[in-house]
Each structure stands twice: as structure tokens, then as C-alpha cells.
A and B are shown apart, each in its own frame.
Chain A
Amino acid sequence: MVKRLLLLGALAFGVGAAPPPQRDRTGAGYAGTEACVACHEEQGKGYAKTRHGALEREGGRGWKDYSCEACHGPGQKHGEAAEAKFILNHAKATPKEADASCLGCHKNQATHAGRVHGSHSAGQVGCGSCHGVHQEKPAPASTCAGCHSDMVAQFLRPHAHRITRGTVECVDCHNPHGSLERAGLRGTARTRNHEPGCLNCHADKRGPFAFEHAPMRLEGCGSCHEPHGSANPRMLNRAEVMNLCLECHANLPAPGNRTGTLGAVAPGTHDLRLPLYRNCTSCHTKIHGSHVNRDFLR
């Protein structure tokens, strides 16, 4: 076993330890980084500070001395003619053109695995909309807010996740590259581990419970909660708990009806004229799932 681990370690650190082979790009229309930076000094300085700068510093993927052209394409003609039309400008290119340039290297990254299903991909939102190449962009929340101003409005409600305090980020729950979960919800610890991102923080709702509350598994936390913000102190999507519960546990349709919605029969016979019974979770405290009681009382 130890030998196997050593072999694996040696493989992990040994394979490719040598500098990557550099391609000879002479005569292929490339100008070289030096020529690019001679005119675009500001971009060059910014770029050198980013992680992409490793292409130049380390010669990653064989682009040493030509790293600008790794993304912008061969620039010799652009340099000679000094005309913008001879170079790929990601800010002015269509998202599809810009993405093709980025995904040439990044398509296979693990965080992008759900990208083809993601709404950003479907809506032709290019990589450059969120990511800066020449300089790092600000915190993810403010990046997202640039387009999702509708979500900004929801976070301004009195009971909301405190995204303005720096402890919660959009990407804690959502994978902007796309995910198999609904609404791009990120799996726990970025593993897409069959769990919604909500459980990243709310570990006590994780289960498995002996008695599961089916909506939590089948339709997720959003079936009862407004996760971005609400006027309700528990971020519920109804003003009264009673309505939230009894809309499903409605006694309608009658048992055996062919529509077959789950949980249609109310689990109790309480008198709703009493305020106590209008707040179901006063007694059904383990409403997310109970380890010991089928009626979620304990």
C-alpha cells in the first residue's frame, strides 16, 4: 500500500515536472509579447499580476514569449497595420467568439462540468462578463449584481442572507458555470454532492432523517423558503405558516383521487381558530425531518 501511495505521489509530482515544451511560432503570424506590450503597456502590467501571467512567467501550455496571443490570436498583422480588425478584442467580440477563446483551455475544468446545462451558457453570457483577464475583478457578489439587479432587490428585504456583510457570497450557493442542481445551485463544498448549497451552512438540516419531509428532498428548500430575502422572519414564502402547510395538506383532493398529489390529507384535526394552531411549527418543530417522530413533533 505504501509503495502504491509513493508511486502515486511520484507520478503526481513527477509527471510534467519539466518545463512544458515551447512551440516555435516564428513565421506563423505571431508578434510576440514584447511587441504587444510596447503599445499596450497598461494591459501588460495588469496581466502580469494575474494568474494568467503564469503563461508568460512559466511558459504554461507552451506560450512563453507569446502569451498575449494565446488569447488574442496571432498579432503580427495587427501590429504592422495598427488596425483593430486584425486582432481578437474580447470586449467587442460576440460572447461565442470570446468564449471559444477562453474555453480552448478552460472547457475541461471541473467547475465547468455543468456549463452546458447552465443558464449563462444558454443566454450567451460570455466569460469576460464576469472574469477579468488583465486585472482581477472585485468580489463575486458585486460582479453578479452587475447583471442580476433583480436579485439585489430581494436582498434588500428585512430578512435576508447577509450577503452585504461579506460572510455569504452568491457562489456559496450557485455555480455560475452551471450545475446539475436546479438554478445552478452548487453542491456542498463544491462537490456537487447530491445536496443543495443551503446545507453548506445549515448542516443540521442535512439528514438523512428516519422520517423525511418529502418536499425538502423532492423540490428543495425553495418550496417553502425565499432564500434571497423575505418579509417573513423565517424567510417563508407565505405570511402565515398555516397557509404554507395547508396549501399542500389541504384535504383536497380526496384520497384515491387520480391526481395523486402527495400529502394531500392534513396530518391533524386542529382548530385553526386558535392562534396556536395557525403556527404549525410551534409543535411540529422538526419540520425539515425528524429522527424519531413521524409527525415531526420531536
Chain B
Amino acid sequence: MRRALWLAIPMVVWGQAPEVTTEVGYRVLPSTRGDWKSYRSVDNLAEGPRLLQFAGAWTPAGSRGLDALRVTGSGWGDPMNALHLTMDKAGLYRFTFGYRNMAYFNALPSFANPLNTFSQRSFDTRQRLWNADLDLRPGKRLQPFLSLGRQSGNGFGVSPIVVDENSYPAASAIDYGYLQFRGGVHFDAERWRITLEQGGGRFHDDTALRIEERNTGNRLLPYFGRRLALDRATQAYTVTGQNVYSSAEVTVSPWRWVDFTGQFFYSQPNSDVRFSENAQGTLLWLETLRFVSGQQSLVTGYANQPRTSGAGSVEVRPWSRVRILESWQTTRMHNAATLAGLTTLDQRALPGRSEGDRLVWNESEQQVQAWVDVAKFLTLQGGHRYLWGDARVRRGSLSTGPAQEAGRLRRHVGLAGFVLRPAARLTVNANAEVGRGDRTYFRTSLQNYERVRVRARYRLADGWQASGHYHRTANGNPTPGVNLRFAAQQAGASVQWTRRTVSVTADYARSTLWNDLVFLEPERYAPLRSLYRDNAHTGALAATWNWPKNRGSVTVGGSLFRSAGSRPTRYYQPLARLLVPVRKQVQLLGEWRQVSLGQAFYANEAFGVQQITIGLRLGR
């Protein structure tokens, strides 16, 4: 299944002439049932011509400036597409360029009210990312490097404008971007290496919300006899930000039995904000319980977030069978912000608003680990980790006491594990953590926890491989007033059988998750229990029969996910794929896929869509 699932792009055979492999096709959706916006939120593949994937390589003979050029791409015409380009000349440079374009459509409410099928937090946006990296003189003693990249998102959506005692869904125009750059140099020697790097970025967010016709919002009942409504409203954000960072890394191996590493990072991002809001209609000014017909707000603000991190480690190998690692790291951050605002109600200005905020976070970790090769087939490991930290954040609106709350973290963790290789074809890898703490930042944080991971891999024979895994995490916080209990476990197996003409891959996993926590309902202080359960079966299968001489293939399989518990869900994706040789280096491509989603509690979000793609595969 993995072969089909991961859509590994076939690399062409290395040669001196440019060689290209391309898949083009046309997709139709012959059957669409159920909720279309739910389908778009989950899968979103549509009809039309597509450049499904392509790969090419060129290795010019005797070129002074180029050893190889490779290009791969996928999904052009689909909601998600990518392009990767690599050029290199040994010892001179290595250049990579990547471009990704991802459509993000989501019109599903995060909590689906079955009576209300309209989400007030919807997105129909595109995220575009590109980056260009240039490494000069790779493999040499002094290696400069440069990088430039940009992430951006824009599109439309729905987001509420919240005015006292009511919220009104509004059309939003989303537009943000982050341009980043970095450069530095590696010094590479036989026994030491230093990397110095400096970089930064510029950020902007110009999101805007708008209501242009009467909107009565989510409050259905009158407030003191009057119906709250917005006739017109706008919100506009103009956020700009900058970030500068520096980093240094050093690795030293003075003798064969010891290594030292050290890292230092410093960054100082900041944001500059201008926000304006204009609302007209029947509004409530909650502070004075007064109805007004117009409200305007202007806010300017600035946030600054310097952060420093350092890490160091020493690895000692006093004997050939023993390895000891002592490591330490720390991070210190604080966020300081100031805001000034002005509000007018019915053309009359209120007293100016000025406020600030601070968040302080310091955290450190010290760890010692040892590995002992008891025998050639068995390695044991053990260790201890200690985490400690403190944080100060602003108190909640309804909290009493000082303006800031203080939290602390203190946890000891015991580490153990083994790697067992009883035969050349079998490896078993297991590790366990047992943590005990008496301070955590949040009620749901790790405190008293146990975590076990076991993985086994067995190559039965050439072409046969089986693997299995088991994970379990249990966490609890017995502090009176918290009483958190959490447990999650997963067990699974995978089998692969690969022959020249036939290959079969099958995966199955069974997972369970259970979380139990009590809280007091905010309005009436009545205890409520948050009991979350998720018991899931996940499976995937791909069986492929290859034509002789690798000229075509048939693949059948698919994936399924079926869960019970707090959000019972069924999600199936059966798949069949056919490659038929037409002539040399031309194959007919056919693919059928069905995507089905069903949910017991949110039946309105169910859908079933069939996809058929017909096309050609050109090249080897």
C-alpha cells in the first residue's frame, strides 16, 4: 500500500541525455453523494485535466558548472501541487529550489451542531511556499550557505465579528506572508566543526472582515427588549513584524573517545499592529449597559519577544562497549507588549485605553544516558532526565489576585530500553519512560506518566518483511482538584511481500485513547465530566502485479479508518490503478478511487465520491 499511498515519484535512470517521466490525465467524478463542502474539506480533488507527476534528470557530460539537474513535481491542476529542483556540481555548489501550493478549504465546524450545518469559521485559501537554498563548496573545509524563502496565504473565509453580547458572521479576506532569509558559514575540520548563522524575516498580515447588510448575529433573543444587530461593520488588521536571529554551533572531537557539542541561539521577533473597527447598528455597550448606534475603535500595539537558548553535551566512550551521554539545555523567553486604543460611541470619544502584557518562560533540562553493549546482539540503555522551569502569564479576566499567575514545572524521568538483534534478520527496539512530577504548567500536562514503545522488524526471507509495534502512554495528575487520567495505546502490524512480478503490502493498527477530567461549568459552577474516548481500527492494503519487463502494472487496495467513541467515524478509500503498455515508453494510466466519510453524530457531514482518472504515462 505504501507504494501506492506515498506516490513515490519514479526517478529516471541516470544518463547523459535529459530523461523525463511524465503522467498526464483527466479526472472525472462520476458519482458524488452527500455533503459537497464536507468532501471539499476532507479530500477536495476535482474534475479536469491534470499533470499528475513528472520527474526528470539531466547529466551533461564534461560540464564545468553542472553535474546533475533533477526536477520533480506532482499534482499540477490539483489543489495541492509541488515542484522540486536540484542542481549541483561536486565541490562547487548545491542549489535546491522548492515550491508548494496548497489549497486549504474547510467549511466544517470544529464542533458540529447537528442543527446548524453552517460553519462560522470557514476558509477557502491558498498557502504558497517557496524556498531557494544555495550551499557553496559542499564537502570542503569552508562552506558558505545562503537561503531565501517565503510563505504566504490568501483567500476568503467566514469569521465572526464579536461585539458585546453578540457575534456576527462576516466575510473575511485573508492575506499574510512571511519572507525569510539566512546565511552563514560552516567551518569543517577533521576534529571540529563550527557553524555560524544569521538570519531574519519580515511578516505582514492584512486580514480584513466586512459586513455590508443587516446581520442579527447569533443571539436570537432580545436583550433588554431590543434585538441586537449590525447594519454595517468592518475590521481591518495591519500587522507587520520583523525577526532577527543568530546561531552558533560547535562540535569538537578531540579524541576518539569523547565528543563535545554546544549550541547557542538568540532571536528577537517583534510585531507592530494597527487595528481599526467600525460597527453600526443596534449595539450594546456592556460597561454602561447602554445601547448605541455606532462604535469605532483604533488600536496600535507593539510586541517584542526576545528568546535565548543554549545547549551543551558531552559524549564519552570510555570502553568500546559503553557510551555515556550527558546533556543540558535551557531556553529563556519573554514577551512584552504595549497597546494604546481609542474608542468612540455615537461620535463621542471614550477615555483612551492603554495596557500592556507580559509572558515569561524559563525552562531547562538535564539528562544523562548510558548504553552498554552487553553482547553483540543486545544493547541496554538507561538514564535520567530532569526538567524544571517557571512561567508567568497574565491572570484570567475573572481571576482575583495579582496581575500575573505563576506556574512551575518540575519532573524527574527515568529512562530504560534495549535493542535486541537475536538474528541478523530480526531487530527489536524497546524503550520506556517513567516520569514523576509535582509541578506542571497546565492541568492536562504530563505529570506522572509512563510511556512504552516497542518496535520489531523481521525479514523472513528475501522479499518478505514483517514488522510490529506497540505504544502505550498513561498520564495522571492526582492533585486534588485536577484528578486527570489519560491513557493511549496502539498496536499494529505490517507485512510486505515483494517479488519481481507481485508485491503486497498490508498494514493494520488498533488504537485506543481515553481521557477523563472533571471541570466546573463556568456559569453555574456545576461539575461536568470531560470523558473523551477514541477506539479506532486503521488498515491499508496494496497488491500490485507487474507486467514482465516492468511495462505495466495493476494495483488494488485502499485504506480504511473506523472509530468508535466520542466521535464515531468511518472513512474508506478503496483504490484500483492500472498501467497498460501501449508502445515503448508509453503506458495507458487508469485509476479508480472512492472516498467515503460517515459520522454517527454528525450525519450531515457524510459523503461518498468516486474519482476516475484516465491518462498517459510517458517515459520509462
Contacts and interface: CB of A to CB of B under 8 A. Distances in A.
Contacts of A114: 263
B444 A223 contact: yes
B293 interface: no
Interface in B128-186: 129, 131, 136-137, 139-142, 144, 147, 149, 151-153, 159-162, 167, 174, 176-178, 180, 182, 185-186
A232 B573 CA distance: 18
B359 interface: yes
Given A108-B193, A233-B110, A292 B273 contact: yes
A250 B530 CA distance: 11
B80 A281 contact: no
A251 B80 contact: no
Nearest to A297: B162
Given A279-B110, A282-B167, A156 B115 contact: no
Interface string A238-257: 11111100111111111111
B490 A203 contact: no
Contacts of B87: none
A247 B519 contact: yes
Contact of A203 (B178, B471, B538, B569): B178
A207 B419 contact: no
B25 to A, nearest CB: 15
Contact of B440 (A125, A152, A158, A261): A261
A168 to B, nearest CB: 8
A247 to B, nearest CB: 5
A271 B419 contact: no
Contacts of B136: 12-13
Contact of A253 (B177, B275, B481): B481
Contacts of B90: 51, 54, 57-58, 60
A212 interface: yes
A134 interface: no
A54 B339 contact: no
Interface stretch (B3-11, B281-289, B609-617): B3-11
Chain A, interface residues (CB within 8 Å), range = 35 or more
Contact of B186 (A49, A110, A252): A110
A166 B270 CA distance: 33
A207 B269 contact: yes
A238 B405 contact: no
Interface residues of B, number: 197
Interface in B270-301: 270-271, 273, 275, 277, 299, 301
Interface string A128-151: 000000001011011001110110
Given A166-B75, A193-B199, A223-B444, A250 B127 contact: no
B301 A275 contact: no
B111 A210 contact: no
Interface in B65-81: 74-75, 78, 80-81
Given A12-B144, A269-B522, A107 B218 contact: no
A276 B168 CA distance: 12
B309 interface: yes
Given A191-B197, A204-B153, A291-B273, A266 B396 contact: yes
A208 to B, nearest CB: 4
Interface stretch (A27-35, A36-44, A74-82, A116-124): A116-124
Nearest to B339: A210
Contacts of A61: 139
Task: Specify which of B259, B445, B519 lies most central, judged by the most chain A CB atoms within 10 Å of its CB.
Answer: B519
Given A153-B492, A193-B245, A233-B41, A252 B518 contact: yes
Nearest to A260: B407
A63 B141 CA distance: 16
Contacts of A209: 271, 303, 335, 337
Contacts of A257: 481
B461 to A, nearest CB: 15
A272 B527 CA distance: 12
Contacts of A49: 14
A157 interface: yes
A276 B100 CA distance: 36
Interface string B342-368: 000000000000010101010100010
A35 to B, nearest CB: 24
Contacts of B515: 238
Nearest to B108: A233
A92 interface: yes
Task: Specify which of A57, A243, A262 lies most central, judged by the most chain B CB atoms within 10 Å of its CB.
Answer: A262
Contacts of B91: 54, 58, 60
A13 B102 contact: no
Interface string A99-110: 000000001111
A261 B483 CA distance: 13
A211 B127 CA distance: 25
B469 interface: yes
Nearest to A12: B144
Contact of B327 (A117, A262, A266): A117
A12 B142 contact: yes
Interface stretch (B373-381, B549-557, B582-590): B373-381
B305 interface: yes
A201 interface: yes
A192 interface: yes
B269 A157 contact: no
B481 A136 contact: no
Contacts of A154: 538
A96 interface: yes
Interface string B513-549: 0010111111101001010101010101000000000
Contacts of A146: 2
A251 B251 CA distance: 48
A231 B569 CA distance: 7
B405 A262 contact: yes
Contacts of B522: 246, 249, 251, 266, 268-270, 272
B6 A203 contact: no
Given A194-B265, A206-B178, A218 B391 contact: yes
Interface string A160-177: 001111111000000000
A107 B251 contact: yes
Contacts of A72: none
Contacts of A58: 90-91
A214 interface: yes
Contacts of A57: 90
A223 B444 CA distance: 8
Contacts of A266: 396, 398, 520, 522
Given A108-B251, A139-B8, A116 B186 contact: no
Contact of B492 (A60, A149, A282, A283): A149
Contacts of A251: 519-520, 522, 525
Interface string A284-298: 010000011011011
6 contacts: A108-B193, A156-B561, A260-B406, A261-B443, A291-B273, A298-B161
Given A210-B301, A249-B396, A292-B339, 11 more contacts: A139-B8, A149-B469, A189-B182, A218-B363, A219-B445, A238-B530, A256-B401, A261-B442, A266-B396, A291-B303, A298-B275
Interface of A: 11-13, 15-16, 49, 51, 54, 57-58, 60-61, 92, 94-96, 107-110, 113-114, 116-117, 122-125, 136, 138-139, 141-142, 145-147, 149-150, 152-154, 156-159, 162-168, 180, 188-189, 191-194, 200-201, 203-204, 206-212, 214-215, 217-219, 223, 231-234, 236, 238-243, 246-257, 259-272, 275-276, 278-279, 281-283, 285, 291-292, 294-295, 297-298
Across chains A and B, which 9 residue pairs bring their CB atoms closest together, nearest first? A108-B193, A253-B481, A250-B519, A208-B305, A210-B337, A153-B509, A233-B108, A251-B520, A54-B90
